[in-house]
Structure 1
Amino acid sequence: MFELVVTGAKGLDELLQSELQQLCPERATKLKPGQVLLEADLADAYRICLHSRLANRVLLKLAQGMVDQADDLYRIADSVVWSEHFDVHQTFMIDFIGTNRTINNSQFGALKIKDAIVDQFNSRMGKRPSVSKINADIRIQARFWRQELAIYLDLSGKSLHQRQYRQDTGKAPLKEHLACAMLMRSGWAENMAAPLYDPMCGSGTIVIEAALMAANIPPGRNRKVWGFSRWRKHDDTVWQQLVEQAESEIKPIQTGIFANDIDSRLVQIAKSNARAAGVEAAIQFSCADAVKYVPEIETAGYLVSNPPYGERLSEVTALLPLFDDLGLHLKQHFQNWKLSLLTSSRDLFRQLKLSAKKQYQLMNGKLECQLVNYDMDERNCEIRQTQPLNSDFANRLVKNIQRSKKWLKSQNTDCYRIYDADLPEYNVAIDCYADWLVVQEYAAPKDVPENKARQRIHQILAALPKIMQADPEKVVLKVREQQKGKEQYQKLAQRHEYLQVSENGAKFQVNLRDYLDTGLFLDHRITRQLVQQRASGKHVLNLFAYTGSVSVHAALGKATSVTTVDMSHTYIDWAKRNFQLNQLNGSQYQFIQADCTTWLVDHQAKYDLIFIDPPSFSNSKRMDNTWDVQRDHVKLLTQAKRCLKSGGEIIFSNNLRRFNLDNEALKTLGLDIEDWSQKTLPEDFKRNPKIHHCWLLTDAG
């Protein structure tokens, strides 16, 4: 008899224990988080390896002891007679799991056990086995919890969820043992005569595992190499008897299993995987839109699926309309069915407008998920007429759109704002960039519960494509909070997708996903026009230039020269692309990567027009000191005035809401001051009059 530990995924503990009780009915089992313990013979251990659909690993205990100091690891490992388990010419590897204050590094723990093993071989045989991290003959697992260490032989080798039939997968594939858990939790595993349908099958894991279940094919059937294959105590006779018995118990499939996906490539992958598993003939595949297609199934059955759910809130945007349509489709065509759907975003399932029967917590890899069961009874199949266009948010947005149409006729731009937290409970800004929409969610007040804020943003994202008649794939969600320093222009993604937009004769590249800001500040639309109108025949300097949009307008306004300065190499390159997009080329256009606050100190050139739009605060690593616009603006403008020609102009702007311009200090510099804040406020930003401050500072001569 051996002490075995059978490990499983979080959330599957009770299911795994129940399965092991069926496989080894004569053995008592004990449940611990993520594992089941039992005493069993070698045949039981082999049986679990071959037949368990839920287990990850089957571990056979070799030694156990308390650890008070690092040398105890060595002592416990040395208590095992390793030559009884493998030969000196074989390779081995060690997985060390767990740490505490004494042993706070798993690599150190593995090294101590390795030393004990090779030292023992050396002392007894004068030779030592080699460690291999790839395809080792023997796999050893050490599990360390509090002060107790247990050392095991891994009988499974690679994780048991790897069934060896996957030829290829789609994005974020479902693990095989989790698919089995879904089938068990759905109720289908106890009623396999009923039809099974996966409308979004991906690479086919759920339906393939269902077919293996229905045919009583052991999940380990295709595995050629096990953790015990080269173990010295392996009994091949016992193993072969179990394999032969399992083969004799395979039976024909008596149920209908149906798989569908909208992606023809994934359907071909699913077919290939099913073929490798030996169950392709048992599954009927189709390629269609899940919210439009109805399989030819005569009786109600089980719909079990892992629909897309997006790991980030921004990825949910395009999925909301899908789930809205899916809910209606299920109500219309799947009466009396039982549904079991996996998600990491339960809020997304609210779009189905179904009442759940039961919910289970599961782990899909490292992602916390919920498996939600629904009965498609009379209540759930009732179609309630929803009127999203009659909500307060929708009504306000429609009014804003109608109002925007009037002033847009006098504008020449495809970038503008249509909503800016007009209703406090719908705390977002919505900007149009050509046929794209960017939704910026302002951080919710602390007194608004997170779940309520999330529900409201989902309402917005669900209604927006319908109201705006926009493609849901072209709706981008961002969360806008107060940013400081290096957080200001932090990356959100790395898609490198650029969209061309236009504004008053200028063309710009914007990036709607990768950064919090898009590359074009829409509230400065009028400011850029004023720069263009004043730029003719002048030498123009643009400090803190960002992506160079003001520089482009100055160049289009026939400036004699335009110098663009920004600290970021990324934004200087972006500015250059914007110039190329507008066919602006020549030595009169200069691009300088530098910290504006220090570059200006030693700069000697003179300019007719200087545009300055600094951040509110910065502590970037590229700067020698921190920057605070309230504290440092006089010093900055003093340096700028030194580079200003007689009679020249500085347009100074910033976005700090509580900013106060030091008028007295600037007058002593010989600057006349004109407040342009209202003058430069575009019509679509008048709901938020403090979006920026702007002044014209003129050299008094």
Structure 2
Amino acid sequence: MQFIALTSIGVEQLLVDELKAFDFEINKQTIGSVKFTGANLDVQKFCMLTRFATRVMLLVDDQNEVKDKESLYKFARFQAWQDWFSPKQTFAVEFSGTNSALKNTQFSGLVIKDAIVDYFSDLFEQRPNIDKETPDLRIVAKLTKQGCALYIDFSGPRLSDRGYRDKQGKAPIREHLAAALVKRSGWLDDISKPLFDPCCGSGTLLIEAASMALNLPTNLNKDFAFKRLPSFRQAKFDELKAELKAQGTEQNLWLIGSDIDEKVLSIAKRNAERAGVATHIKFKHEDANCLTAAAKRPGTVLSNLPYGERLGGMAELISLYRNMGVAFKKHYKDWQLALLSSDESLFKVLKLARKKGYKFKNGPLDVLLNLYEMNEQQVQQSSDSNGLNFEGSAAFANRLKKNLQGLKSWIKSENIKAYRVYDADIPEYNVAVDVYNQSAVIFEYKAPKEIDDVVAEKRLQDVITLTAQQLDIDPLNIAVKVRKKQKGQEQYKAFDKQNRTEIVEEFGVKFKVNLFDYLDTGLFLDHRLARKFIQQNAKDKRVLNLFAYTGTASAHAAFGGAKAVTTIDMSKTYLKWAEENFELNGLKNSRYRFEQADCLKWLEHAKGQYDLIFLDPPTFSNSKRMADAFDVQRDHIKLLGWVKNILAPGGTLLFSNNKRGFKIDEMALAGIGLTAQEYSKHTLSPDFKRNKQIHNSWLIRHA
């Protein structure tokens, strides 16, 4: 009988070797699958023992001539379905693949379903029912350029689900991939040596390693699909199951797992107990940033290291990898390392020479398992004395230190809690560094095309290290926002959120900021003095804040005694944030209004009068109210004309934008009855004086 075994990309060769160990004949190896020939009972045994297959299917037939609906129907209609199930049983059809005639997999699946129903109706005058959730027989059809193949699901529920995990950590790894990593690590060549996972999470790697070393079956109690086939014999299966239960071996294993998260460690312990290997694994609470020797005798370090699946967390990761690289050289001489990550640049932070690498897929992610040999040469190979990639990075450190020194008196006198300390002062280190209390945000500007990506990544690593050192900030509290080209579906991926917020105070007003979960933090630092102007001039005024973002200028107006404050933004999230900022300051009044609207649309038809207006529009916007996309340079007169209609006599409009080289059209402005007073230098605080193009601002009044 012919079968196909499925697995993940990168595990195929291990699956081939496993199948050969069962004396199966290998017919064909393709990406993610292996076709083979074997006897029914032997394949049942394989399903209970396999470590690398995720699914096994029995081949019914394949045909090259399946090109359209008619040929697909005939192909399915003339199979001997009574050999596999009866009309009293239920079935379901899975279909994958398309061609020019068969473009919809759901439609193609219905064609096969109709063919099978017609087969039983003609032969037995009775039709089987469909059950998509728990069918007696699941039929799988795969359409390729070569034709169509029909399979019967032989194994049933996913073979990688061993049954010992009820909960898992944040970065789960499938059991069959964990087994592949154990195999590729080389530890199984000598299981008397210790195996250590410093980021063990829910313990999957160590549990799979123990199971492999003890020769335990993987899936004895699964509800296999083959049990519902006519060829299944319960007595023979029970005999085989009893035989496999008794085949485990006794071994003294030395398995150690540590993790910084105590909750996930408790999950790991429960998983190990359910897998029957708890006595062989020691779990301990330890931070991988502070590794010491796990055992006196050299062994293997095997770990699925953290990698960047959340926005802003790069500083924490770079610090972790750098610290681990130092610890491996200091405490792990003569050990073997097998480390998994999705980010090649993070591996470079370890500063270790790779011996070998294996590519895998962990779900949708491309991941790499790197093997390292911690021999004398590796241990003695020192990093730069300061741990930096470039000697020139010292210039960045010096500039950071110098800038901070120059701002200290201002920070102290004004009680500033959030400020910019560096803004691309050195062209090669093209980042901005902002401080928020005891935290920091590093924002990497888009690098010129001529700058090599690897060089840019290494410079950023140095920036992160030096920012932590010079500002005395824990890397855990440094958010890094990197502009990089996304691949494929990555641009649509939602990042994990840390939900870490903190409070900063500015001229007596408190604001909630979120440094890690969004590209912006909730507070535009360069508008600090613009907000101060609004606070100082808001008393008894009717204030309007357009394109309000998180309502920080609105909070200043209310704090300054405004009679009424209207806050308008298109984002529901930002408006909720604005309301939270008001609550934080105890600002409550029925005349404080928050309105969700497209500001351009709202302005075109706005009514009422406002004494003080803050207008900070985007440089560009695709508002539906504009014939073309809104451009602040081209369209600012039209915009200001709308605002003029609601600006009270004697009122003031503080107009700002951040378009470099913006020029206000004073003649056109005069033509609509407004005058403008350049005010940019009054809204640039000391931390932004180095970048006079950060924004432009004017005080605009009726002529």
TM-score (structure 1 length as normaliser): 0.92
Q: Structure 2: which amino acid aligns with 1:530?
A: F
1:300 alignment partner in structure 2: 298
The runs of 4+ residues in structure 1 deviating greater than 6 Å are 490-493, 622-625
| Matches of 1:410 and 1:107, distance apart in 2 | 69
Distance in 2 between residues matched to 1:417 and 1:635, nearest whole Å = 34
Alpha carbons 1:500, 1:508 under 8 Å: kept: yes
Q: How many Å apart are 1:49 and its aligned residue? A: 1.4
Summarize the alignment of residues 18-167 of structure 1 with structure 2, pairs less than 5 Å apart. Answer: 18-24=17-23, 27-65=25-63, 66-167=65-166
- What is the Cα deviation at residue 672 of structure 1? 3.1
Deviations 1:56-102 (A, max 9, x none): 22221101112121122221122221121122232222222222222
Shift in Å at residue 353 of structure 1?
1.8
Q: Residue 317 of structure 2 is aligned with which of 307, 316, 319?
A: 319
Corresponding residue number in structure 2 for 1:216 = 215
Correspondent of 1:686 among 646, 666, 689: 689
CA contact (8 A) 1:17 1:29 kept: no
Instruction: Show the counterpart of 2:261.
Output: 263
Partner deviation per Cα, 1:489-542 (whole Å, 9 max, x = no partner)? x99766655432111111222233343222221111112222223333433333
Per-residue Cα deviation, 1:536-573 (whole angstroms, up to 9, x for no partner): 34333333322222222233333333333333343333
Alignment of 1:191-206 (within 5 A): 191-206=190-205
Q: Does 1:561 align with 2:560?
A: no
Q: 1:495 to 1:189 in 2, by over 3 A?
A: closer
1:528 pairs with 2:531: yes
SS of the equivalent of 2:54 reads strand
Task: Please give the per-residue CA displacement for 1:5-41, whole angstroms capped at 9, x wherever unaligned.
Answer: 122210112221122112216x344322222222222
Could you tell me how far apart the structure 1 residues matched to 2:121 and 2:624 are? 53
Q: Distance in 2 between matches of 1:21 and 1:468?
A: 59
How far, CA to CA, are the matches of 1:33 and 1:361 in structure 2? Answer: 13
Letter in 1 for 2:576: D
Aligned mate of 1:578, from 564, 577, 581: 581
Q: Secondary structure at the match of 1:656?
A: coil
Secondary structure at the counterpart of residue 314 of structure 1: coil
Could you tell me which amino acid in structure 1 is paired with residue 338 of structure 2?
S
8 Å CA contact 2:400, 2:421 repeated in 1: yes
Residue matched to 1:627: 630
**SS state at 1:649 partner:** strand
- 2:333–2:379 contact (8 Å) kept in structure 1: yes
Question: What is the CA RMSD across the aligned residues, in angstroms?
Answer: 2.6
Residues 1:663 and 1:122: Cα distance change in structure 2 (over 3 Å): same
Alignment partner of 1:178 is 2:181: no
Distance in 1 between residues matched to 2:71 and 2:254, nearest whole Å? 57
Distance 1:176 1:646, change over 3 A: closer
Question: Given the alignment of the two structures, is residue 600 of structure 1 paired with residue 600 of structure 2, yes or no?
Answer: no
1:357 CA displacement: 0.4
Contact 2:311 2:497 in 1 (8 A): no
Is structure 2 residue 548 aligned with structure 1 residue 545?
Answer: yes
- Residue 454 of structure 1 is matched in structure 2 by 457
User: Which amino acid in the other structure matches residue 346 of structure 2?
Assistant: L
- Measured in 2, the distance between the counterparts of 1:295 and 1:678 equals 58
The answer (yes or no) to whether the contact 1:400–1:418 under 8 Å persists in 2 is: yes
Q: Distance in 2 between matches of 1:294 and 1:200?
A: 14
Does the residue aligned with 1:584 lie in a helix, a strand or coil? coil
Kept after mapping to 2: 8 A contact 1:8/1:55: yes
Which residue is 2:16 aligned to? 17
SS at match of 1:379: helix
Shift of 1:619: 1.2
Deviates more, 1:32-41 or 1:232-241: 232-241
| 1:547–1:572 contact (8 Å) kept in structure 2 | yes
Would the aligned equivalents of 1:63 and 1:79 in 2 still touch at CA under 8 Å?
Answer: no
CA drift of 1:680 comes to 1.6
Share of identical aligned residues, percent?
Answer: 43
Structure 1 pair 122/621, CA: closer, same or farther in 2 (3 Å)?
A: farther
The 1:521–1:163 alpha-carbon spacing in structure 2 relative to 1, beyond 3 Å, is same
Cα deviation for residue 356 of structure 1 reads: 0.9
Q: Which amino acid aligns with 2:247?
A: E
| 1:282-293 alignment, distance < 5 Å | 282-292=280-290
Structure 2 portions without partners, runs of 5+: 486-492
Residue equivalent to 2:488: none
**Cα separation, 1, equivalents of 2:605 and 2:8:** 63
Count of paired positions: 690
Partner of 1:486: none
Aligned partners of 2:355 and 2:371 also within 8 Å:
yes
Q: Secondary structure at the match of 2:652?
A: strand
Counterpart selection for 2:658 from 649, 655, 658: 655
CA contact (8 A) 2:361 2:367 kept: yes
Give distance in 2, aligned partners of 1:622 and 1:232: 68
Distance 2:693 2:175 in 1: 55
Aligned equivalents of 2:387, 2:283: Cα separation in 1: 36
Is the 2:291–2:324 contact (alpha carbons within 8 Å) kept by the matching residues of 1? no
Is the Cα–Cα contact under 8 Å of residues 310 and 495 in structure 2 kept in the other structure?
no
Residues 1:294 and 1:601: Cα distance change in structure 2 (over 3 Å): closer
Using the TM superposition, give the Cα deviation of residue 624 of structure 1 relative to its aligned residue in structure 2, in angstroms: 8.3
1:444 equivalent in alignment to 2:442: no
Q: Which amino acid aligns with 2:74?
A: R
What SS is found at the alignment partner of 2:199?
coil
Could you tell me how far apart the structure 1 residues matched to 2:219 and 2:484 are?
Answer: 51
Corresponding letter in the other structure for 1:360: Y
Match of 1:347 among 345, 348, 352: 345
